[in-house]
């Protein structure tokens, strides 16, 4: 997904990078755009989505996440380390999260998806594939996954994420949203994160800087 049409997790990742690490990711994006323009295929298959599907089966259908992870590894040995990190991080977060509720867990608005416009950057940040949980009659949580190994999600970037979720879904209670750094098993919510009023504007300004840098680097490939 290009920097001009990003999913939230990609926009968050880029916002935390600087210097050579940012340039490296932007050059990778530029090369992918060039290949696409030339009719070539993009990058390799996404392995995060299959894991997240397994995690949802674990939550809602009592599937064995360990067995599912082993099956994924059997199909793709090159991803063994990351699959194990994803499994471990998710379970470290899930155990105390689940212990807070005695009621059965069931899906709630599983197809919740949306977008948030960053007007200065003129970029629509896409949001989808949330883990939407309901327990009892009034407890709902929408968990957005962040999968990137480096950089890990910081409190500042989590503020960007939560503000974006709030803006994308204005009809839902902000306290229902959480962003989860899956690899590290660390969740961020409005309840425990002080999200400043200007977080979206800060995110927008940072993304404008990223796009200007992308355009500068793109000129080297012409």
Sign of the dihedral through C-alpha 79, 85, 89, 91:
positive
Q: What integer is the mean pLDDT of 137-166?
A: 97
| Closest-CA residue to 168 (of 124, 220, 199, 218) | 124
Residue for token pair 């600087």: 18
Give the residue numbers spanning the domain of 201: 8-40+106-221
Task: Report how many domains make up the chain.
Answer: 1
134 inside domain: yes
3 inside domain: no
Tokens encoding 196: 């400043």
Stretch among 1-5, 39-43, 76-80, 185-189 having the lowest mean pLDDT: 39-43
What integer pLDDT is reported at residue 37 of this predicted model?
87
2 inside domain: no
Q: Residue 222 — very low, low, confident or very high, per pLDDT cuts 50/70/90?
A: confident
Distance between alpha carbon 31 and the CA centroid of its chain, in Å? 23
Query: What whole-number distance in Å separates Cα of residue 140 and Cα of residue 136?
Result: 9
What integer pLDDT is reported at residue 157 of this predicted model?
98
What integer pLDDT is reported at residue 45 of this predicted model?
65
Q: How many residues are recorded in the chain?
A: 222
Read off the DSSP letter of residue 56: H
Peptide bond between residue 151 and the one before it cis (omega within 30 degrees of 0): yes
Sign of the dihedral through C-alpha 42, 47, 50, 56:
negative
Does the predicted model carry a pTM greater than 0.85? yes
Query: What whole-number distance in Å separates Cα of residue 181 and Cα of residue 153?
Result: 6
216 inside domain: yes
59 inside domain: no
Tens digit of pLDDT for each residue in 168-188? Answer: 999 999 999 999 999 999 999
Tokens encoding 169: 């879904």
55 inside domain: no
Tens digit of pLDDT for each residue in 93-143? Answer: 999 999 999 999 999 976 789 999 999 999 999 999 999 999 988 899 999
| Closest-CA residue to 142 (of 165, 117, 118, 171) | 165
Tens digit of pLDDT for each residue in 29-69? Answer: 999 999 988 888 766 668 899 999 999 999 999 999 999 99
144 inside domain: yes
Whether residue 214 is predicted with pLDDT greater than 90 in this model: the reply is yes
């Amino acid at each position: 997904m290009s920097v001009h049409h990003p999913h939230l997790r990609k926009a968050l990742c880029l916002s935390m990078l600087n210097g050579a690490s940012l340039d490296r990711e932007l050059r990778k994006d530029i090369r992918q755009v060039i290949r696409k323009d030339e009719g070539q295929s993009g990058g390799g298959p996404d392995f995060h989505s299959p894991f997240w599907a397994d995690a949802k089966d674990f939550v809602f259908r009592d599937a064995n996440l360990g067995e599912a992870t082993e099956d994924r590894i059997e199909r793709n040995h090159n991803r063994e380390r990351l699959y194990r990190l994803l499994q471990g991080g998710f379970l470290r977060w899930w155990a105390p999260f689940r212990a807070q509720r005695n009621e059965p867990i069931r899906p709630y608005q599983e197809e919740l998806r949306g977008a948030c416009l960053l007007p200065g950057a003129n970029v629509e940040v896409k949001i989808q594939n949330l883990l939407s949980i309901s327990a009892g009659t009034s407890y709902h949580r929408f968990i957005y996954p962040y999968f990137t190994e480096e950089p890990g999600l910081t409190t500042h970037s989590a503020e960007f994420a939560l503000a974006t979720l709030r803006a994308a879904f204005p009809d839902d209670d902000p306290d229902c949203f959480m962003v989860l750094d899956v690899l590290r098993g660390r969740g961020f919510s409005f309840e425990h994160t002080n999200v400043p009023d200007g977080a979206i504007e800060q995110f927008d300004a940072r993304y404008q800087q990223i796009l200007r840098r992308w355009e500068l680097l793109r000129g080297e490939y012409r």
